[in-house]
Copies of this chain bind each other. A is one copy, B any other.
Amino acid sequence: MTIKDIAKLAGVSVATVSRVINDDAGVAEKLRNRVLQVIKETNYIPNTVGRNLRKSKSDMILVMLPTLSNPFYAKILKGIEKRASEHDYGILVSVTHHESRIEKKYLKMLQMKQADGVISLFSTLIAEELNDLAGKYPIVQCCEYTEGAHLPYVMIDNKKAAYEATKYFISSGHKRIGMISGSFYESSERAREQGYKEALMDSGLPFDEGYIFKSNYKPESAMEMCRKLLDMPEPPTAVLTVSDTLAIGAIKYLKSVGVEVGKDMDVIGFDNASITRVYDPTISTVSQPRYDLGTVSVDLVIEKINNLSTVNKGIILPHELILRESTRGEA
C-alpha cells in the first residue's frame, strides 16, 4: 500500500495525497475528505524511508548510552522521550559499551539522516573528533562533558556537588576523608575530585592524593579500595564515592570488617539510585535532576537541529545532597 495506491483509490494525484498527509493548506475540503477516507479504510501509513530519503530528515533523535547496566539513565530517557514527543520527534536508543568503534558506527546515522540529532550520555571520542562532528551535526552532551569539545551540554555542577558532600563530612567533624573515584567518566570524576580537594583545602585540612583511589565501578573494586583506605597508617573516617554502586561496595567491606557505617565511618555516594533507599544502611547520596537533564537535552538538540550555528549553551542543573543512615556518624 503506497501513496500511489491511495491516489488511485481516491481518484486524485499523489501530490494531493501527500498534501493531505502533511496537512498542507490548499486542498479542497471535498478532496481532503475523500483522501482521508481512503487512508482510513486502507490503514495506509506513509513510508518513513521514502519520506526520509526525500526530505533528508527523519524527525528522530538518537540517544547514545554508554551502557544498559546503569538504571541511572532510565529517568533521563523518560525526560527525553517526553520532551521529544512534544516536539514531534521520535527517539532511538543505542548503546556504545564505552567503545568508540560502536559510537562512531551509530554516529553515521547522522550522516545518513537517519537521525537529525544526537544526545550523548557519554562520549568516548576525543574533543577534536567531537568538534568536527558538531560542526556538521547537532550533538549535545548530557551529564558528561568532553574537555575541549565545543558543544551544548547539560549537567550538574559536579565539582560543587562533591564540594558540598565533603563539606558536610567536615561539618560533622571528620578530619580525614577518603574518596573512591574512577577512570571511566573523566569529566565528572575529575570535577568531583576537584570539589573534594577544594573543600578540604578551604577548611584548612590537608589534601593528600593518596586518599583518592580509582575503581572500575564494580562494587567488588570499591571493596578493595575501601580495604586500602582502612589499611592506611591514618585511615579516613568518611568516604566519598563517585557512584552509589561504589558506596555499596565500600559499605559492604566496612560491615565485613566490623566497622559500623553511619557511626564509625560515614559514606556518601552519587546519583541517588533506588537501591540507596533500601540498602542497609540507607545511603546518603547526591541526587541529580534526571528527568530535567533529559528534557533540557532535547531542548538543546532541537535548537541545534533548527539552527546548527546557534551558540553552544552549557546548562547547569541543580543537584541535591540527600542525607540518610550512612552519614549519621560524628568523628
Interface residues of A (CB under 8 A from B): 45, 47-50, 52-53, 67-71, 73-74, 77-78, 81, 90, 92-95, 97, 105, 108-109, 111-114, 219-220, 248-249, 252, 255, 274-275, 277-280
Q: Are A112 and B69 in contact (CB under 8 A)?
A: no
Question: How many copies altogether?
Answer: 2
Contacts of A67 in B (CB 8 A): 74
Among A47, A49, A81, A105, the one with the most B-chain Cβ atoms within 10 Å of its Cβ is A49
- Name the residue on B nearest A274 (C-beta): B219
- Name the residue on B nearest A106 (C-beta): B90
The A interface is mostly helix, strand or loop, or mixed, namely helix
Contacts of A252 in B (CB 8 A): 278, 280
19 contacts between A and B (CB under 8 A): A48-B108, A48-B109, A49-B49, A49-B113, A49-B114, A68-B71, A68-B74, A68-B93, A69-B71, A69-B74, A69-B274, A77-B95, A219-B274, A220-B278, A249-B278, A252-B278, A255-B280, A279-B279, A280-B280
Q: Are A47 and B278 in contact (CB under 8 A)?
A: no
Give the CA-CA distance A69 to B70 in the complex, in Å.
Answer: 8
Give the CA-CA distance A49 to B220 in the complex, in Å.
Answer: 45
Contacts of A105 in B (CB 8 A): 90
A108-B278 contact in complex given A68-B73, A73-B68, A92-B94, C-beta closer than 8 Å: no
Contacts of A92 in B (CB 8 A): 92-94
- Name the residue on B nearest A108 (C-beta): B45
Contacts of A280 in B (CB 8 A): 252, 255, 279-280
Q: Are B112 and A278 in contact (CB under 8 A)?
A: no
Give the CA-CA distance A249 to B274 in the complex, in Å.
Answer: 11
Give the CA-CA distance A320 to B148 in the complex, in Å.
Answer: 48
Contacts of A109 in B (CB 8 A): 48
Q: Are A278 and B49 in contact (CB under 8 A)?
A: no
